[in-house]
Amino acid sequence: MSVQPASPRQLRLGLFVQALGHHVGGWRAEGAKGSPTDIDWFTWIAKKAEEGKFDMFFVGDALATSVHRLPSTMSRLEPLTLLSALAVQTKHIGLAATASTTFDEPFHLARALCSVDHISRGRGAWNVVTSFSLDAARNFSREDLPSHADRYEMAREFLDVAFKLWDGWEEGAIVREKDTGRYSDESKIHPANHKGKHFQVQGPLNIARSPQGRPVIIEAGSSPAGQQLAAQTAEVVFTAASSLEEGQAFYQSQKQFVRDAGRQPDHLLILPGVMPIVGRTREEAQEVWNQLNELVDIDNGIEQLSARFGVDMTAYPLDGPVPEIPATEGSQSRVKLLTELAARENLTLRQLAAVAAGSRGHRVVVGTAEDIADDFQHWLEQGGADGFNIMPAVLPDQLELFVELVIPELQRRGLFRTDYQYSTLRENLGLPSVDENFAAVAPLATEKE
């Protein structure tokens, strides 16, 4: 195949890490390795991703567990603790983790994230989420959850407090004048003095300004409230789209939200999740995919759908159509994606359960390095994405093949970096400084009446 013309832009690639692979049956595949609580395993994954010049290593989180969860997520390390350990084992790759605004306090989380940014010398990122699990609520002494709208209102105020705390330390606040004994310039350290509906925080933060000023902010909500929050506060958006048309529609919608917020649309990057199944031939890749699908536990898939939809799906016939169930106050965007996928592909409940269990609704691309590069290039050039969040189905094999085969093909086309150029994650993502990115966004008015 001849080399296609290089795109004017380059892809941004995150590695979405599940310790045992993203496919629900990936841990059972031949050659699969790893442990969700083994720091040496995570270190290997991070270093392999850094070898492939990935922009970031990303680990998700949840604040509750059960025997029905994926093996990767039933028992797992606390994300910020994990990132701190990886920060001293890597040099270039960004380090991102999920943390909830529903069950934490702004001062505590802002301090922890600023610490990760210092330890990594400017490679930290925070995936901001609002929690929708009743099990999580009950782990934090609560019997119910705020509504979807209230959770996003809390998240906006939480972020506003975190921004005030991070920005409360100006550059050059630590002066270290040994001859005068003056250690800091108090004119450059400011309290937050935040008094809002949900939070009252005095400040200042008890840690100095970090290399990036703030960690890179990532969000993933695809509801209108989520898109609005991202337009005002995020620099990267994770999403899920099962077709280019869906990807283009979300891309255009989110970029318009960004324009409406007064920001430049290219100052927010959109990275859909994708599960590439890489083979040295198409036949090899298809065989890997077929074998993985044979390992899907349909009962587990139905359990996942039930949790996602908030309805007991065992009440419906497996080989009948997917029932029409409206999205609840939970994960609205993923329910919508799965419902639309079932309607478009005319899937039975059994088939949707297999898809949901296998890739959790994310897009799957099966083929050679050239096939996958063709797909990524097409999405980039057709306005479906700024890059992708890569979800290896099986570890270590699929990550090794992606780094060994797909990355060089993307580099050959001029679609991806051949080396890291900068020291911070924000710079390597091509994002401007914090001040430039958010200069036009008015702070939230949260002062109590």
What would the pLDDT profile of 227-285 be if each residue is shown by its tens digit? 999 999 999 999 999 899 999 999 999 999 999 999 999 999 999 999 999 999 999 99
Tell me if 61 is assigned to a ligand binding site: yes
The pLDDT of residue 140 is: 86
- What is the Cα–Cα distance from 288 to 291, expressed in whole angstroms? 5
Cα–Cα distance between 401 and 404 in angstroms, integer? 5
E-strand ranges in 356-437 read: 363-367, 387-390
- Is 183 known to sit in a ligand binding site? no
Q: How far apart are CA 110 and CA 127, in angstroms?
A: 13
Section 336-357 average pLDDT: 80
Residue with more model confidence, 242 or 151: 151
Q: What is the dihedral of CA 67, 69, 71, 75, to 10 degrees?
A: -70
Rounded to 10 deg, the angle between the 224-233 and 148-167 helix axes is: 10
Bridge pairing between strands 363-367 and 200-201: unpaired
C-alpha–C-alpha distance, residues 31 and 52, integer Å = 21
Strand partners, 276: 365
Task: Give tens-digit pLDDT for 12-67.
Answer: 999 999 999 999 889 999 999 999 999 999 999 999 999 999 999 999 998 888 87
Q: Please indicate whether residue 182 or residue 339 has the higher confidence score (pLDDT).
A: 182
What fold characterizes domain 10-279+367-436?
A: TIM Barrel (3.20.20)
Would the annotation count 150 as a binding residue? no
Closest CA relative to residue 233, chosen from 448, 28, 438, 88: 438
Which runs of E-coded beta strand occur in 318-398?
A: 363-367, 387-390
The predicted model scores a pTM of 0.89
Q: Is the separation of the CB atoms in 399 and 31 below 8 Å?
A: no
Q: What is the pLDDT of residue 78?
A: 97
- Which residue from 93, 26, 29 is spatially nearest to 58, judged by alpha carbons? 93
Other residues' Cβ atoms within 10 Å of the Cβ of residue 344 = 12
Q: What is the rounded average pLDDT of the residues 207-226?
A: 94
H-type alpha helices, 52-147? 71-74, 79-87, 106-119, 134-139
The domain ranges of the chain are: 10-279+367-436, 280-359
Q: 95 near 87, Cβ under 8 Å? A: yes
Enter the tokens of residue 211: 């290399």
Q: Annotated binding residue at 35?
A: no
Which pLDDT does position 132 carry in this prediction? 80
Question: Given pLDDT bands bounded at 50, 70 and 90, which one contains residue 332?
Answer: low
* Confidence band, pLDDT 50/70/90 cuts, at residue 399: very high
- Cα 150 to Cα 154: distance, rounded to the nearest angstrom: 6
Q: Can you tell me the distance from the alpha carbon of 218 to that of 225, in angstroms, rounded to the nearest whole number? A: 15
Quick one: average pLDDT of 325-352?
A: 73
Average pLDDT, the chain: 91
Average pLDDT over residues 387-407: 98
DSSP type of residue 175: E
Structure-token pair, residue 345: 């592909």
Q: Is the pLDDT of residue 449 over 60?
A: no
**How many contiguous H segments (helices) and E segments (strands) does the chain have?**
17, 13
Q: Annotation-wise, does 222 bind a ligand?
A: yes
Q: What is the mean pLDDT of residues 396-413?
A: 98
Beta-carbon contacts of 67 under 8 Å, excluding residues fewer than 6 positions away, are 74
CA distances from 412 to 146, 263, 373 (A): 49, 33, 10
Q: Which of 307, 324, 308 is nearest to 316 (CA)?
A: 324
Regarding beta strands 194-195 and 200-201, do their DSSP bridges make them parallel or antiparallel, or are they unpaired? antiparallel
Mean pLDDT of 107-128: 98
Residue entry with tokens 């920005």: 167
Task: Determine what percent of the chain is predicted with pLDDT higher than 90.
Answer: 70
d(CA 235, CA 426): 9
Q: Is 184 annotated as a binding residue?
A: no
Distance separating alpha carbons of residues 211 and 234, to the nearest angstrom: 18
pLDDT at residue 261, as a whole number: 96
Across 10-106, the runs of DSSP E, i.e. the strands, are 12-17, 56-59, 94-100
